[in-house]
Structure 1
Amino acid sequence: MSLLFGKVCQNGYVVRDIEKAMKFWIEVIRVGPFFYIPRVKTDWFRYRGVDSAVEMSIALANSGDLQIELIQQRNDAPSMYLDHLDAHGEGMQHMSYWSNDYQALYDRAIAAGFTVGHEGQIGGAQGRFAYFESAGHPGTVIEISDISGGKGRFFGHIRKAAANWDGSEPVRMIES
């Protein structure tokens, strides 16, 4: 438990082939079902304070209370996802903390010395997210995500689906 951020709710992995990554998680690790959004629509996205037209696919599943997020960026727009792929290759890129009071958590992170690497919004004002870097521990990326609206309900649905998953319908398409 982080005294600043709370509990880790999600591990996010950047991948070059999201279908292959889902297959690995489903068939080898046996985590699922994955809720797959082939074309995520962002309201806005900024990398280091500058607008960036990131195109990405994401897939979400739970392993107990921990959500697994797979991210494949589909273009070469600047992002921390591409930074990670360039520097480290595929793999875990961030840990995410969720909040019903996003702005307060955001302000605390900034006050604690964290720097925004990229941030954006999906599905309205209650869909904000930010990825922070820390100069004190390079390579540690922390995401915070607002779950006070529809995203929180969607995440609850994913967790419930995983709790009762019997291996059937391992990938569930979601059109954004």
Structure 2
Amino acid sequence: MSRIFGRIAQIGYVVRDIEASMEHWVAQGVGPWFYLERCELDHFRYRGADSALEMSAAVANSGDIQIELIQQRNDAPSLYKDFLDAGHEGAQHVAYWTKDYQELYDRALALGYTVGQEGSIGGGRFAYLDTEKDPGTVIEISDIGGTKGELFKAVRDMAADWDGSTPIHRLG
């Protein structure tokens, strides 16, 4: 438990082949996966400048922890690209979820954190704080108010009762 951010809700993996990564996790008994091949971002900024990020994402739960897989589909500037360009693949961030996003965002900035990238998807804001000292140590804060929170709860609930059938659900 972080005294600043709360409990870790998600571990995010940046991968080069999201399909192979989902299959790897399914083989470990984690699923079902909810896969969006082309995420439609409302907006995205990298280090304060607009960036035309194209990405795929998939989520599944293992207990209360959500696993997120991200594959960047273009060469737009992002922390994901930085991670891959540094020769890494795998766990890139831990995410903390909040229903009071602006309060947590403002508190993080007041404590001296800086934003590496931020954006919005389906109206749900997110920010990745520039905290990577070792690979996989980026902190994401994410707004789970509204439909995003409802979706994440449904993913967790489906994982709790998953019988191994239909391991990948393609969305969109």
Same fold judged by TM-score > 0.5? yes
Matched residue, 1:143: 140
CA distance in 2 between counterparts of 1:110 and 1:11 reads 22
1:23-34 equivalence runs, <5 A: 23-27=23-27, 29-34=28-33
CA distance in 2 between counterparts of 1:159 and 1:103 reads 25
Matched residue, 1:22: 22
Matched residue, 1:152: 149
Q: Secondary structure at the match of 1:43?
A: strand
1:11 Cα offset (Å): 0.1
CA distance in 2 between counterparts of 1:87 and 1:110 reads 26
1:138 Cα offset (Å): 5.2
Question: TM-score normalised to the size of structure 1?
Answer: 0.95
Task: Assess if the C-alpha contact under 8 Å between 1:12 and 1:94 holds in 2.
Answer: yes
Give percent identity, aligned residues only. Answer: 62
Question: What are the superposed Cα offsets for residues 89-146 of structure 1, whole Å, 9 maximum, x if unpaired?
Answer: 211000000000000000111111111000000112xx000000138x4542000000
Gaps of 5+ in 1: none
1:40 aligns with 2:39: yes
CA distance in 2 between counterparts of 1:111 and 1:141 reads 18
Matched residue, 2:116: 117
Matched residue, 1:12: 12
Matched residue, 1:61: 60
1:88 Cα offset (Å): 3.7
Task: Assess if the C-alpha contact under 8 Å between 1:113 and 1:134 holds in 2.
Answer: no
1:161 Cα offset (Å): 0.6
Please list every run of at least 4 consecutive aligned residues from structure 1 whose deviation after the TM superposition is greater than 3 angstroms.
Answer: none
